């Protein structure tokens, strides 16, 4: 399943695709662009021939010093095929500063996999969780999402992705906070394969504008193949104190790191979040 989006205005088009990093039967492919204030960037990251996606990640540069604040995030990390990742990054505040946006495709050689997708609508002013489920005996080993571009322009939605995580042996879930009045169409994707994975978690708390870090680390007998994040408090009416996820990516062959900031701290409120890594047994 693939959603077609029209080219966005306001983005500084300057694509830099960086060569992948290989480690045995796995590779990390990377793409990066600079996002202008209030703009969007879109690009694709393919796996090398013979490799297929196991997971996705991203890292966004933010500025937390008023008035030059920026809020850059991922609104699309979609496995558009079994071996290609479609990416969209957005700067939502539309003030006077942009920043860089990076995305990562984690790929494995000779992996027999499929991609499952499920779409739904999140009402305005609500938080909802959508789930994609693998069929047969395939497990969910990674996943991604597609949501409206963040912002206040035509076709844009003021929203925030709160979670992208494995929600069961064969399912992947995405939680989305719709801060707008219009409904938001959101799609969840699960990368499915006959591969056993184990979840590890790290916890953090965002209390102010500064980034806070949480790490999830695989044991020595296992290798990281994908990851996710979870800043969901509850489904239902929108609250203002959510952790804004600014990075969710692999840092080493065994460690997944998630960074988060609290962009709207209310009287010192705490915004908890989790860093989630998915680990497969080493050959």
Smallest Cα–Cα separation from 231: which of 185, 200, 275?
A: 275
pLDDT in single tens digits along all 283 residues of the chain: 333 233 333 333 333 344 444 445 899 999 999 888 778 899 999 999 999 999 999 998 766 555 555 677 889 999 999 999 999 988 766 666 678 899 999 999 999 999 999 999 999 999 999 999 999 899 999 999 999 887 655 556 678 899 999 999 999 999 998 888 889 999 999 999 999 999 999 999 888 777 789 999 999 999 999 999 999 765 545 555 678 898 999 999 999 999 988 866 665 667 889 999 999 998 7
**Half-sphere exposure of residue 186, counting CA atoms within 13 Å on the CB side?**
33
Is residue 33 within 8 Å of residue 109, measured between CB atoms?
Answer: no
Rounded to whole angstroms, what are the CA distances from 161 to 73, 87, 229, 259, 270? Answer: 9, 14, 10, 14, 18
Is residue 195 within 8 Å of residue 110, measured between CB atoms?
Answer: no
Q: What is the DSSP letter of 9?
A: T
Per-domain residue ranges of the chain: 16-281
The gap from C-alpha 42 to its chain's centroid, in whole angstroms, comes to: 14
Q: Taking the model in full, what pTM does it have?
A: 0.85
Is residue 83 within 8 Å of residue 107, measured between CB atoms?
Answer: yes
263 backbone dihedrals φ, ψ, rounded to 5°: -80, -20
The gap from C-alpha 141 to its chain's centroid, in whole angstroms, comes to: 15
Angle at the Cα of 171 from the Cα atoms of 166 and 174, rounded to 5 degrees: 60
- Indicate the SS3 state at residue 53: strand
Q: Tell me which fold the domain 16-281 belongs to.
A: Jelly Rolls (2.60.120)
């Amino acid at each position: 399943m693939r959603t077609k989006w029209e080219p966005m205005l306001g983005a500084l088009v300057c694509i830099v695709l960086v060569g992948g990093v290989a480690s045995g039967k796995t590779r990390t492919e990377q793409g990066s662009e600079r996002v202008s204030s209030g703009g969007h960037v879109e690009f694709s990251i393919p796996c090398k021939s013979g490799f297929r996606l196991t997971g996705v990640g991203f890292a966004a540069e933010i500025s937390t010093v008023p008035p030059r604040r920026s809020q850059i995030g991922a609104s699309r990390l979609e496995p558009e095929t079994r071996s290609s990742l479609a990416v969209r990054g957005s700067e939502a505040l539309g003030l006077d500063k942009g920043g860089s946006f990076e995305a990562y495709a984690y790929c494995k050689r000779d992996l027999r996999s499929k991609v499952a997708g499920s779409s739904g609508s999140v009402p305005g002013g609500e938080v909802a969780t959508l789930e994609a489920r693998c069929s047969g005996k395939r497990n969910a080993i990674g996943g991604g999402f597609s949501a409206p571009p963040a912002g206040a322009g035509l076709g844009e939605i003021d929203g925030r992705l709160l979670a992208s995580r494995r929600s069961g042996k064969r399912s992947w879930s995405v939680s989305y906070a719709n801060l707008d009045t219009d409904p938001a169409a959101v799609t969840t994707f699960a990368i499915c394969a006959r591969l056993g994975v184990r979840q590890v978690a790290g916890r953090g708390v965002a209390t102010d504008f500064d980034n806070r870090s949480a790490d999830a680390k695989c044991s020595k007998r296992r290798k990281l193949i994908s990851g996710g994040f979870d800043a969901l408090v509850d489904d239902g009416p929108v609250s203002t104190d959510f952790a804004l996820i600014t990075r969710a990516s692999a840092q080493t062959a065994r460690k997944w790191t998630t960074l988060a900031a609290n962009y709207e701290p209310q009287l010192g409120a705490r915004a908890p979040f989790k860093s989630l890594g998915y680990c497969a047994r080493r050959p």
